[in-house]
Protein backbone atom coordinates (compact mmCIF):
# COMPACT_ATOMS: atom_id res chain seq x y z
CA UNK A 1 0.00 0.00 0.00
CA UNK A 2 1.21 3.56 -0.67
CA UNK A 3 2.66 5.50 2.23
CA UNK A 4 2.39 9.16 3.16
CA UNK A 5 2.92 11.57 6.04
CA UNK A 6 0.30 13.56 7.90
CA UNK A 7 0.88 16.62 10.09
CA UNK A 8 -1.48 17.82 12.82
CA UNK A 9 -1.00 21.18 14.51
CA UNK A 10 -2.26 21.95 18.03
CA UNK A 11 -1.70 24.61 20.69
CA UNK A 12 -1.23 24.28 24.43
CA UNK A 13 -0.05 26.56 27.24
CA UNK A 14 2.58 25.88 29.88
CA UNK A 15 5.10 27.66 32.07
CA UNK A 16 8.68 26.72 32.95
CA UNK A 17 11.96 27.79 34.48
CA UNK A 18 15.48 26.89 33.36
CA UNK A 19 17.54 25.91 36.40
CA UNK A 20 20.29 23.38 37.00
CA UNK A 21 20.38 22.52 40.75
CA UNK A 22 23.99 21.34 40.43
CA UNK A 23 25.09 24.93 39.70
CA UNK A 24 25.15 27.97 41.94
CA UNK A 25 22.87 30.94 41.29
CA UNK A 26 25.58 32.91 39.49
CA UNK A 27 26.22 30.20 36.91
CA UNK A 28 22.52 29.59 36.36
CA UNK A 29 22.03 33.30 35.69
CA UNK A 30 25.04 33.37 33.40
CA UNK A 31 23.93 30.40 31.29
CA UNK A 32 20.16 30.83 31.25
CA UNK A 33 19.71 34.59 31.68
CA UNK A 34 16.07 35.70 32.17
CA UNK A 35 14.87 32.10 31.73
CA UNK A 36 16.37 31.39 35.17
CA UNK A 37 14.28 34.02 36.95
CA UNK A 38 12.78 32.65 40.14
CA UNK A 39 9.26 33.11 38.85
CA UNK A 40 8.31 30.86 35.94
CA UNK A 41 7.21 32.34 32.63
CA UNK A 42 4.66 30.92 30.23
CA UNK A 43 4.37 30.21 26.52
CA UNK A 44 1.61 29.45 24.08
CA UNK A 45 3.30 26.43 22.53
CA UNK A 46 2.38 25.17 19.08
CA UNK A 47 3.16 21.55 18.31
CA UNK A 48 3.22 20.01 14.85
CA UNK A 49 3.10 16.21 14.95
CA UNK A 50 4.03 14.49 11.69
CA UNK A 51 3.11 10.82 11.32
CA UNK A 52 4.09 8.32 8.66
CA UNK A 53 2.20 5.25 7.57
CA UNK A 54 0.25 3.40 4.94
CA UNK A 55 -2.81 4.97 3.37
CA UNK A 56 -5.88 2.92 4.19
CA UNK A 57 -7.48 1.87 0.85
CA UNK A 58 -10.99 2.35 2.26
CA UNK A 59 -10.67 5.67 4.12
CA UNK A 60 -7.80 7.19 2.14
CA UNK A 61 -6.19 8.21 5.43
CA UNK A 62 -3.26 7.18 7.60
CA UNK A 63 -5.44 7.75 10.65
CA UNK A 64 -8.85 9.28 11.24
CA UNK A 65 -8.26 12.97 11.98
CA UNK A 66 -10.91 13.10 14.71
CA UNK A 67 -9.30 10.14 16.46
CA UNK A 68 -5.85 11.65 16.06
CA UNK A 69 -6.92 14.88 17.78
CA UNK A 70 -8.30 12.89 20.70
CA UNK A 71 -5.11 10.82 21.03
CA UNK A 72 -2.94 13.93 20.95
CA UNK A 73 -4.99 15.66 23.62
CA UNK A 74 -4.76 12.60 25.84
CA UNK A 75 -1.04 13.37 25.92
CA UNK A 76 -1.08 17.17 25.79
CA UNK A 77 -3.49 17.51 28.70
CA UNK A 78 -0.61 16.34 30.91
CA UNK A 79 1.22 19.56 29.95
CA UNK A 80 -1.53 22.07 29.16
CA UNK A 81 -1.80 24.93 31.68
CA UNK A 82 0.84 23.26 33.83
CA UNK A 83 4.04 24.40 35.46
CA UNK A 84 6.37 21.98 33.69
CA UNK A 85 8.89 22.01 36.55
CA UNK A 86 6.39 21.35 39.33
CA UNK A 87 3.21 19.86 37.87
CA UNK A 88 4.56 17.12 35.61
CA UNK A 89 6.69 14.05 36.42
CA UNK A 90 8.95 14.58 33.42
CA UNK A 91 11.03 17.55 34.57
CA UNK A 92 11.96 16.77 38.14
CA UNK A 93 15.59 16.43 37.02
CA UNK A 94 15.29 17.42 33.35
CA UNK A 95 15.40 21.12 32.39
CA UNK A 96 12.20 21.96 30.42
CA UNK A 97 13.87 23.59 27.44
CA UNK A 98 12.20 23.59 24.04
CA UNK A 99 14.44 20.71 22.96
CA UNK A 100 13.76 18.61 26.05
CA UNK A 101 10.03 19.27 25.90
CA UNK A 102 9.91 18.23 22.22
CA UNK A 103 11.88 15.08 23.03
CA UNK A 104 9.62 14.27 26.00
CA UNK A 105 6.50 14.70 23.87
CA UNK A 106 8.03 12.37 21.27
CA UNK A 107 8.69 9.68 23.90
CA UNK A 108 5.19 9.92 25.38
CA UNK A 109 3.42 9.95 22.00
CA UNK A 110 5.57 7.06 20.80
CA UNK A 111 4.09 4.91 23.56
CA UNK A 112 0.48 5.62 22.60
CA UNK A 113 -0.98 2.32 21.35
CA UNK A 114 -3.11 3.88 18.59
CA UNK A 115 -0.49 6.29 17.26
CA UNK A 116 1.08 5.60 13.84
CA UNK A 117 4.85 5.89 13.55
CA UNK A 118 6.23 9.33 14.36
CA UNK A 119 8.26 11.10 11.69
CA UNK A 120 8.80 14.53 13.26
CA UNK A 121 7.74 16.70 16.17
CA UNK A 122 8.18 20.43 15.70
CA UNK A 123 7.57 22.51 18.81
CA UNK A 124 7.27 26.30 18.64
CA UNK A 125 8.03 28.07 21.90
CA UNK A 126 7.14 31.32 20.12
CA UNK A 127 6.94 32.40 16.45
CA UNK A 128 10.73 32.92 16.31
CA UNK A 129 11.99 29.76 18.02
CA UNK A 130 11.23 26.10 17.44
CA UNK A 131 12.80 22.70 18.05
CA UNK A 132 12.61 19.61 15.85
CA UNK A 133 12.92 15.99 16.88
CA UNK A 134 12.92 13.58 13.95
CA UNK A 135 13.40 9.90 13.25
CA UNK A 136 16.64 10.74 11.48
CA UNK A 137 18.02 12.75 14.41
CA UNK A 138 17.05 10.15 17.03
CA UNK A 139 18.12 7.07 15.14
CA UNK A 140 21.07 8.37 13.14
CA UNK A 141 24.60 7.11 13.62
CA UNK A 142 25.52 9.99 15.98
CA UNK A 143 22.57 9.56 18.33
CA UNK A 144 22.10 7.22 21.29
CA UNK A 145 19.62 6.89 24.18
CA UNK A 146 22.13 8.63 26.43
CA UNK A 147 22.81 11.46 23.97
CA UNK A 148 19.60 12.26 22.09
CA UNK A 149 19.83 14.72 19.24
CA UNK A 150 17.52 17.53 18.17
CA UNK A 151 17.66 20.74 16.19
CA UNK A 152 16.77 24.28 17.18
CA UNK A 153 15.79 27.00 14.72
CA UNK A 154 15.88 30.72 15.44
CA UNK A 155 14.16 33.27 13.18
CA UNK A 156 15.52 36.78 12.59
CA UNK A 157 14.30 39.78 10.62
CA UNK A 158 16.23 42.58 8.97
CA UNK A 159 15.45 45.31 6.44
CA UNK A 160 17.83 46.13 3.60
CA UNK A 161 17.96 47.89 0.28
CA UNK A 162 19.05 46.41 -3.04
CA UNK A 163 20.32 48.44 -5.97
CA UNK A 164 19.46 47.43 -9.54
CA UNK A 165 21.62 47.95 -12.64
CA UNK A 166 20.16 51.41 -13.21
CA UNK A 167 21.16 52.50 -9.72
CA UNK A 168 17.63 52.50 -8.35
CA UNK A 169 17.29 51.05 -4.83
CA UNK A 170 14.34 49.13 -3.45
CA UNK A 171 13.74 48.01 0.11
CA UNK A 172 13.16 44.44 1.31
CA UNK A 173 12.12 42.95 4.64
CA UNK A 174 14.10 39.73 4.96
CA UNK A 175 13.48 36.79 7.25
CA UNK A 176 16.28 34.35 7.92
CA UNK A 177 16.09 31.11 9.87
CA UNK A 178 19.24 29.55 11.33
CA UNK A 179 19.08 25.86 12.28
CA UNK A 180 21.56 24.23 14.65
CA UNK A 181 21.55 20.45 15.19
CA UNK A 182 23.33 18.35 17.76
CA UNK A 183 23.23 16.50 21.04
CA UNK A 184 21.03 17.91 23.78
CA UNK A 185 23.47 18.90 26.51
CA UNK A 186 22.42 17.11 29.74
CA UNK A 187 23.50 20.07 31.89
CA UNK A 188 21.69 22.80 29.93
CA UNK A 189 18.98 20.91 28.06
CA UNK A 190 20.00 22.82 24.94
CA UNK A 191 21.63 22.08 21.60
CA UNK A 192 23.05 25.61 21.57
CA UNK A 193 22.78 28.53 23.95
CA UNK A 194 20.22 30.89 22.44
CA UNK A 195 21.90 34.05 23.73
CA UNK A 196 25.17 32.95 22.12
CA UNK A 197 23.35 32.15 18.87
CA UNK A 198 21.72 35.59 18.90
CA UNK A 199 25.08 37.30 19.42
CA UNK A 200 26.67 35.37 16.55
CA UNK A 201 23.87 36.21 14.11
CA UNK A 202 23.64 39.80 15.29
CA UNK A 203 27.35 40.35 14.72
CA UNK A 204 27.69 38.41 11.47
CA UNK A 205 24.39 39.31 9.80
CA UNK A 206 22.11 41.88 11.44
CA UNK A 207 24.70 44.57 12.16
CA UNK A 208 26.13 44.13 8.67
CA UNK A 209 22.93 44.24 6.65
CA UNK A 210 20.11 45.82 8.66
CA UNK A 211 19.12 49.21 7.20
CA UNK A 212 22.03 49.00 4.78
CA UNK A 213 22.28 48.80 1.00
CA UNK A 214 23.42 45.20 0.54
CA UNK A 215 24.45 45.86 -3.05
CA UNK A 216 27.22 48.12 -1.73
CA UNK A 217 28.56 45.47 0.64
CA UNK A 218 31.95 44.11 -0.51
CA UNK A 219 30.61 40.55 -0.43
CA UNK A 220 28.14 41.41 -3.20
CA UNK A 221 30.37 43.60 -5.33
CA UNK A 222 30.30 41.06 -8.18
CA UNK A 223 27.36 38.94 -7.06
CA UNK A 224 23.62 39.49 -7.38
CA UNK A 225 21.78 39.99 -4.10
CA UNK A 226 19.38 37.05 -4.21
CA UNK A 227 17.82 35.02 -1.43
CA UNK A 228 20.09 32.10 -2.34
CA UNK A 229 23.27 34.16 -2.33
CA UNK A 230 22.31 35.77 0.98
CA UNK A 231 21.68 32.35 2.53
CA UNK A 232 25.06 31.14 1.28
CA UNK A 233 26.83 34.22 2.62
CA UNK A 234 25.13 33.96 6.04
CA UNK A 235 26.20 30.32 6.26
CA UNK A 236 29.81 31.24 5.53
CA UNK A 237 29.74 34.08 8.04
CA UNK A 238 28.56 32.06 11.04
CA UNK A 239 29.32 28.37 10.36
CA UNK A 240 32.55 28.25 12.35
CA UNK A 241 31.35 30.26 15.33
CA UNK A 242 29.53 27.62 17.39
CA UNK A 243 31.09 25.84 20.34
CA UNK A 244 28.18 23.38 20.57
CA UNK A 245 25.92 22.07 17.85
CA UNK A 246 26.42 22.18 14.10
CA UNK A 247 24.94 24.63 11.62
CA UNK A 248 22.74 22.53 9.34
CA UNK A 249 20.53 24.99 7.47
CA UNK A 250 20.07 28.67 6.65
CA UNK A 251 16.83 29.88 5.11
CA UNK A 252 16.27 33.35 3.66
CA UNK A 253 13.01 34.79 2.34
CA UNK A 254 12.07 38.29 1.24
CA UNK A 255 8.34 37.57 1.29
CA UNK A 256 5.76 34.90 2.13
CA UNK A 257 5.84 33.24 -1.29
CA UNK A 258 9.52 32.39 -1.82
CA UNK A 259 12.49 31.19 0.18
CA UNK A 260 15.99 29.90 -0.39
CA UNK A 261 17.48 27.10 1.70
CA UNK A 262 21.22 26.55 1.98
CA UNK A 263 22.72 23.49 3.68
CA UNK A 264 26.41 23.94 2.99
CA UNK A 265 28.58 22.82 0.11
Over residues 197-255, the pLDDT tens digits come to 999 999 999 999 999 999 999 999 889 999 999 999 999 999 999 999 999 999 999 98
CATH ID of 151-265, from 3.10.129.10, 3.30.479.10, 3.40.50.300, 2.60.40.10: 3.30.479.10
Domain 1-139 has CATH 3.20.130.10: no
Q: Which of 237, 225, 226, 224 minimizes the C-alpha distance to 264?
A: 237
pLDDT score, position 168: 82
Over residues 90-121, the pLDDT tens digits come to 999 999 999 999 999 999 999 999 999 999 99
Label residue 164 by pLDDT band (50, 70, 90). confident
Choice among 41, 81, 112, 139 that is catalytic: 81
Q: What predicted TM-score, i.e. pTM, was given to this entire model?
A: 0.94
Element (H, E) at 160: strand 149-163
pLDDT score, position 97: 97
Choice among 19, 35, 227, 254 that is catalytic: 35
Task: Tell me, yes or no, if 16 is annotated catalytic.
Answer: no
Task: Tell me, yes or no, if 19 is annotated catalytic.
Answer: no
Residues 6+ apart with CB under 8 A from 55: 1, 2, 3, 4, 61, 62
Average pLDDT value over all residues in the chain: 94
Question: What percentage of the chain exceeds 90 in pLDDT?
Answer: 88
What stretch(es) of the chain map to CATH 3.30.479.10? 1-139, 151-265
Question: Mean pLDDT throughout 5-10?
Answer: 97
126, 78 contact by CB (below 8 A): no
Task: Tell me, yes or no, if 35 is annotated catalytic.
Answer: yes
Amino acid sequence: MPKATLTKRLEFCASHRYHNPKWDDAKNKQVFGPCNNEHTHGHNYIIEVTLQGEIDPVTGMIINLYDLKQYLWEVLEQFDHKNLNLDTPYFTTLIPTTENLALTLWKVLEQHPQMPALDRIRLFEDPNLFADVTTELLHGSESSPDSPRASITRRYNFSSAIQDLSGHSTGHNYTTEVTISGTIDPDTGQVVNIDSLDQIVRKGVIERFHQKNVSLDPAFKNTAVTEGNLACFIWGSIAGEFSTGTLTQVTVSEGPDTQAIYRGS
